Amino acid sequence: MTDLAEIEEKIAEYAAKGYEVPSKDMIKTPEQIAGIRAASKINTAVLDAVADKIKVGMSTDDINTIVYECTLSHGAIPAPLNYEGFPKSVCTSINEEICHGIPDPNVILKNGDIVNVDVTTFYKGFYGDASRMFMLGKVNPQKKNLVLITKECLRRGVESAKPWRFIGDIGAAVSALAHKHGYSVVKEFGGHGVGLEMHEEPFISHVGKKNTGMLLVPGMVFTIEPMINMGRPDLYVDSANDWTAVTEDGKPSAQWEHTILITENGQEILTY
């Protein structure tokens, strides 16, 4: 990576021109990046374990058990567990649930469901974060298309995250594709800095305009995690648990998430 002094000098040049620039603590050191990379590797392994075992007929609490046991087997801790009172080790959001679904032994995965499994791992002082969509049994073409287009939204968002470009480029890329297919983009939730804490600055909106927002700089680590709705973007939080966000119109939602590192030449995906 370019010398930190060179990066700081370049940041100062942008700041002098009136651009929004990251604070020094948003730029991770090589040692911190190594720690985040180790946590991210475990996080990917946990999602792989879910992918191997998830099936119609299991409960979302069964997914929680897989995540909990796999994470501990790697010497790590499931970061969501007891985070601000969250009672489980993973978020499981089905169909019209946008995010923060709470695993439940009474919620059974059915043929045709789509489910987001969102895993965050804490390992030796560092965090990795990612989510994947799973399609169970025979999923109807409309839901399948939503899942696949949302994954492509993520890919395009990641591709647009380049050094010395801007956060607004990410939202512009994501929202352009979503809107092209008649979908809407959730604005209330977005990506975020991650690594030393579970949630850090900056906020990564999935709607935006190119050439706007904070400058992207080598050493920044954050998630991109578009939440795309088949219908309108409006949502509500389930009053039964004060966590789960649900589409107001009851139509399906999908989400994919990577943690990425901004490098000198582009970006590196740390979690899959």
**pLDDT for residue 3:** 77
| pLDDT band, very low/low/confident/very high, at 1 (cuts 50, 70, 90) | very low
Interacting residues of 168 by C-beta distance below 8 A, sequence separation 6+? 205, 208, 209, 210, 211, 212, 213
Neighbours of 237 (CB within 10 A): 14
Phi, then psi, of 209 in degrees rounded to 5: -120, 140
**pLDDT for residue 2:** 55
* Residue 268: strand pairing partners: 261
**pLDDT for residue 4:** 82
**pLDDT for residue 39:** 98
What is the average pLDDT value for the chain, to the nearest integer?
Answer: 97
The CATH code that applies to domain 4-269 is: 3.90.230.10
Domain extents in the chain? 4-269
69 neighbors 80 (Cβ within 8 angstroms): no
Q: Which pTM was predicted?
A: 0.97
What's the pLDDT tens digit per position in 207-243? 999 999 999 999 999 999 999 999 999 999 999 999 9
Residue 36 has pLDDT above 50, yes or no: yes
202 neighbors 214 (Cβ within 8 angstroms): yes
What's the pLDDT tens digit per position in 84-116? 999 999 999 999 999 999 999 999 999 999 999
